[in-house]
Amino acid sequence: MSEVHGERTTLLCVPFAGAGPSFFHPWQKLAGDRWRVLSVELPGRERRILETPYRNVVEAAKSEVDGIVAQLGAGTRTVLFGHSLGAVLAYELVHLLGARGVHVERLIVSGSPGPWTQRERRAAGLPDEEFLARVEEFAGFRHEALDHPEMRELILPTLQADCEMHENYVPSTDDLVTVPICSLRGDSDGLVSAEEARQWRDATTDEFSYAEFPGDHMYLVDLGREVLDVIEAQYARGR
């Protein structure tokens, strides 16, 4: 279904706060031959662990876009997926990729209010323990790596920078994107309401759709296959 002239469409995944590409590695197996799954690797995690993380979404998108274009390759048909912080980063990337001749066919945003809505309850700037407790409350789970002092020392600065850039995000432009947007949400997400998740309808000049999954803000941890099925159905609808 996602074959285009013998080539798979690329699903480009943009990670949520604190996450790296490895979160999406299992998705390639789940996707089988339906998609080529790539993910954006930001500074401060995995292979780029020693690099300084960004503290501004717009700066991150502008600084990374050329590398992303090279990663995608010429003439690639691309669907963007982003969860939470990844959703607003993906939104910025749609604008930038279009200007560079990359054809984004669809934007799938997850666990995020519309791009103009800033989060009322914040974690950025809190002392470490309070910060982690707030993030755990937001996400609905605690990453086990944070219980190991050495790992925590590595992860914490990036997680703090990610939360800061997410909570301070202001879109770079009032121009709407011209691609279809599908907004996804866990039906018991205490961080993003259904009404907020549907705000994305106002961010595109094209069609908008909405889907919910069982679970909280981090529903996608356990539902990768189901998320991919919805993305596949969305993509097929637009072909």
Lookup: tokens for 192:
């993003």
Q: What is the model's pLDDT at position 56?
A: 96
Q: Taking 50 as the threshold, does the pLDDT of residue 3 lie above it?
A: no
Whole-number Å distance between alpha carbons of 46 and 172:
28
Q: What is the model's pLDDT at position 5?
A: 37
Place 101 in a pLDDT band, splitting at 50, 70 and 90: confident
Q: Which amino acid is at 111?
A: G
Number of domains in the chain: 1
Lookup: tokens for 183:
């907004």
Whole-number Å distance between alpha carbons of 187 and 29:
26
Whole-number Å distance between alpha carbons of 70 and 102:
10
Q: Taking 50 as the threshold, does the pLDDT of residue 6 lie above it?
A: no
Q: What is the DSSP letter of 53?
A: P
Look up the domain containing 67 and give its range: 3-238
Give the DSSP H or E segment for 107: strand 103-110
Across residues 57-76, what is the average pLDDT?
A: 93
Report the DSSP pairing between strands 181-186 and 77-83. unpaired
Q: What is the model's pLDDT at position 70?
A: 94
- In the chain, count H helices and then E strands: 7, 7
Q: 41-58 pLDDT, tens per residue? A: 999 988 998 899 999 999
Q: What is the model's pLDDT at position 177?
A: 96
- How far is the first Cα of the chain from the last one, in angstroms, to the nearest whole number? 9
> What share of the chain has pLDDT > 70, as a percent?
94
The per-residue pLDDT of the chain, averaged, comes to: 89
Give me the CATH number covering residue 114: 3.40.50.1820
Other Cβ atoms within 10 Å of 127 Cβ, number: 8
3-state secondary structure of 33: coil
Lookup: tokens for 124:
């950025």
Helix, strand and coil in the chain, % to nearest 5:
45, 20, 35
Q: 175-195 pLDDT, tens per residue? A: 999 999 999 999 999 889 999
The residues, ordered by sequence, that sit 6+ positions from 129 with a Cβ below 8 Å of its Cβ are none
The strand pairing partners of 234, in sequence order, are none
